[in-house]
Structure 1
Amino acid sequence: MMDEYQIDKARVRASFHRAADSYDASAILQQEIRDRMFERLDLIKLKPATILDAGCGTGHASLALGKRFSGSQVLSLDIALGMLQKTLAQQPLFKRILGLNRAAAICADIEQLPLANASVDLVWSNVAIQWCNDLDQAFGEMHRVLRPEGLVMFSTFGPDTLKELRAASSTDPAHVHVSRFIDMHDIGDALVRAGFSAPVLDVERFVLTYDDVMSVMRDLKAIGAHNAAAGRPRGLLGRGFLQKLTAAYEQFRSEGKLPATYEVVYGHAWKPAHSKTSGVSTVEFHPKKRSV
C-alpha cells in the first residue's frame, strides 16, 4: 500500500531549484534557526578538517562554517542545482575569506551521500532532513561518512509545524496538504539506531504571523517548500477548497493576525571511536532572545 506521505524527491528538487532566487528574501525563519544552531556550536569543542553542509541551500552556512573553522574544507551539498548555483555565486567570498580557489558543491540526496567512508569530521544540516523519506537511511549515511569522534549537528521540524494549516486543510480529507514531521524522541531513537553516541536534542517553537492564509502559502512557495507528499492533490487547487481553507484557518486568528507555528528540533551526536552506543538525552537550551 502506498504511503501517502512519501516524499516525491523529483518535486522537491524542482521546487527548490525554482525557488533559489527568492529563497534568501523569504527564509527568515531558516536564517534564525541557523543562527541558533551556531549558538549551540559555541558550546562544543571541535576542530574539523572537513565539513559537510548537508542541504546547504544558498550556501550561507557553508561560508560561515568555513570562517569559523579556518583552514577547513567545506563541502556544500544540496538536492537542487539552483541552490548550488547560488552557493557557487559566493565563490569570490569563499576565495577571499576562506582562501579557497573553488567552492566544493555536490548535487546529491542526503539519503545517498556520494562521499567516502570516514571522510568528514562534521556533518551540519539546517532544516533539511524533513525532506528525507527514511531517517534511518539518512542518519546511517551521515554516520558512514563521519570519521570516528566526528559530530553530526542538525535542525529539523517537529509534528506541531504548520499545525494550523494542517487543521484547516482537513476540510479535504482525501488528500495530504501538509507533510508528516517526526517527533523529537523518535529522531533521537533513529540516531541511536544509526550508531551515534548519546544524542542531545531540544526543541523550540516559533510563531510567524500573517494577514491572510494566502500569505502563508506564498511564503512557503517562495522558499521552495511545496507539498511534495505522494497523497497531495494533483493539478490546481479549486476555488471551493481555497474558500473552505480560508474559512477554516480563521478560527486561529488572534489580535488581527493568522499564526503559522513551527516546531524546531535541534540535535547533535557523536560518532564514537568504537561501536558503543548509549541513550538519548533531552536538554533545555536557553538561546539569546530575538524576535523573528
Structure 2
Amino acid sequence: MYLDKAKIRQSFAAASVTYDGVADLQRSVGKVLLDSVDKENPAGTLLDLGCGTGFLTAGLLARTRPIIALDIALPMLQVTRTKLIDTANVGYVCADAEQLPLAGHVVDGVFSNLALQWCVNLEGVFADIKRVLKPGGRLVFSIFGPQTLQELKAAWAEADDFNHVNDFYSERRLRRFLQLAGYTEIVVETNVYISNYDSVLTLMKELKHIGAHNVLAGRNKSITTKAQMQRMVAAYERHRTGELIPATFEVIMVTAS
C-alpha cells in the first residue's frame, strides 16, 4: 500500500476545524477503546497515537495520567491542546507515527483510535511501538479493515480504472505484522458498522471533513470528469434502501503485548 504522507498531513490539518462535527463513528469506536482502559486499569504514562482533536486523549485523562498526545497534523494537535488547556500532565508531540521521537521504554501503554491505517509500514510501526513500551506494556488500537467503504470502491470501479478509495489491511495481515514485530499475546475483534447517508455526495463530504479522502500516492492526477462522477453515483445508487444509502465501515480492534 502506498500512501502520500504529505497529503495525509495536509488532509488532517485542513479537517481540524470540521472533524468534530462529523466524526460520530470515530467517537463510537473510541468509547470501545476507553472501555478496554477501564478493564485493564493501566497506570503510568500512556501515549495517544494519532490523537486527532483529542476525544480519546480526554477520555484517557479521565482514567489515568500522564498522557502524551501525538499527531502528524499540527492543527489537530492544537485543537486538542486548546480543549485541554486547563489540564496538567499532558505532553504534546507533533510527529509521524512511523518516526516516533521517543526514547525506549518510556510509556506503559499505547492507544490509537482509527489512525494507524494511514501508516505505510505497519510492521515497522508496531516494532517501534514495542521499543517505546515498557516491559509488559500494551498496545491497544482500532483500525479500518478491508470491507470499509466497499460500496464506494465498487461504484468507482464502474466509473473508471483508477483508485479512489484507500485499501486497508486484513485481520490476518495485522496479526502477521504484530508477530513479526515481537508481540506474542494478540487479541483481535472485528465489528462492522453501517452508516447511512442522504446521498453519495453527503458521504464524500463527510470523508473530506474528517480528512479521510483519498491520499494514495501515484493515483490519477487528472481531474475526475462530470461523466465519471455521474457513473459512480449511478452505480452507488443501486445500494439505496428507501431514502438512504449505506456505507460499510469494518473496524478491527486489537490488544497486543
**TM-score interval for Structure 1 and Structure 2 normalised by the shorter chain:** over 0.9
Q: Provide the C-alpha distance between the structure 2 equivalents of 1:197 and 1:204, rounded to a whole number of angstroms.
A: 23
* Alpha-carbon separation, structure 1, partners of 2:160 and 2:39: 45
Kept after mapping to 2: 8 A contact 1:110/1:138: yes
Q: Which residue of 2 aligns with 1:35?
A: 31
- Within the alignment, does 1:10 sit opposite 2:6 as a pair? yes
Partners of 1:91 and 1:41 in 2: how far apart?
20
What SS does the corresponding residue of 1:168 show, helix, strand or coil? helix
C-alpha distance in 2 between matches for 1:263 and 1:118 = 32
CA–CA distance in structure 1, aligned partners of residues 209 and 96 of structure 2: 21
Map residues 133-152 of structure 1 onto 2, 5 A cutoff: 133-152=120-139
Q: Percent sequence identity over matched residues?
A: 39
The separation in 1 between residues aligned to 2:15 and 2:106, in whole angstroms, is 31
Select 1:53's aligned residue among 36, 48, 52.
48
Aligned with 2:60 (options 59, 65, 84): 65
Shift of 1:12: 0.3
1:60 CA drift (Å): 2.0
1:167 and 1:249 map into 2 onto residues whose CA distance is: 8
8 Å CA contact retained: 1:8, 1:228: yes
> Are positions 1:85 and 2:81 aligned together?
no
User: Aligned residue pairs: how many?
Assistant: 257
Please state how far the C-alpha of 1:235 moved relative to its aligned partner. Answer: 4.6
- Deviation string 1:205-229 (CA, Å, 9 cap, x unpaired) is 1001111110010000010112000
Q: Does 1:108 align with 2:95?
A: yes
**1:101-136 per-position Cα deviation (integer Å, ceiling 9, x unaligned):** xx3111111111000011111100000010011110
- Aligned to 2:98, the other structure's residue is in SS state helix
Shift of 1:171: 2.3
- List runs of 5+ in structure 2 lacking aligned partners: none
| Unmatched runs of 5 consecutive residues or more in structure 1 | 271-292
Quote the offset at 1:174 in angstroms: 2.9
Quote the Cα distance in structure 2 between the aligned partners of 1:213 and 1:152: 35
Find the aligned partners of 1:222 and 1:60 in 2 and give their Cα distance.
16
Runs of 4+ in 1 over 4 A off after TM superposition: none
Change (3 A) 1:244 1:173: closer
What secondary structure is seen at the aligned counterpart in 2 of 1:121? strand
Task: Determine if the alignment matches structure 1 residue 200 to structure 2 residue 196.
Answer: no
The amino acid that maps onto 2:57 is S
Instruction: Tell me, in whole angstroms, the C-alpha distance in 1 between the residues paired with 2:86 and 2:117.
Output: 29
Partner AA of 2:152 in structure 1: L
1:256 & 1:32 partners in 2: Cα distance?
24
CA distance in 1: counterparts of 2:171 and 2:160, whole angstroms: 26
What's the offset of the Cα at 1:94?
Answer: 1.6
C-alpha separation in 2, matches of 1:195 and 1:255? 49
Q: Is the 8 A contact 1:63 1:94 kept in 2?
A: no
Q: Which amino acid counterpart does residue 232 of structure 1 have in structure 2?
A: R
- Report the Cα offset of residue 256 of structure 1: 2.4
Separation in 2 of the partners of 1:40 and 1:68? Answer: 11
Equivalent pair of 1:209/1:259 in contact (CA under 8 Å)? yes
Give the alignment's Cα RMSD to 1 decimal.
Answer: 1.3
**Alpha carbons of structure 1 residues 92 and 107: separation in structure 2 relative to 1, 3 Å:** closer
How far has the Cα of 1:63 moved from its partner? 1.9
Supply the distance in 2 between the matched residues of 1:235 and 1:79 (Cα, whole angstroms): 27
Partner of 1:287: none
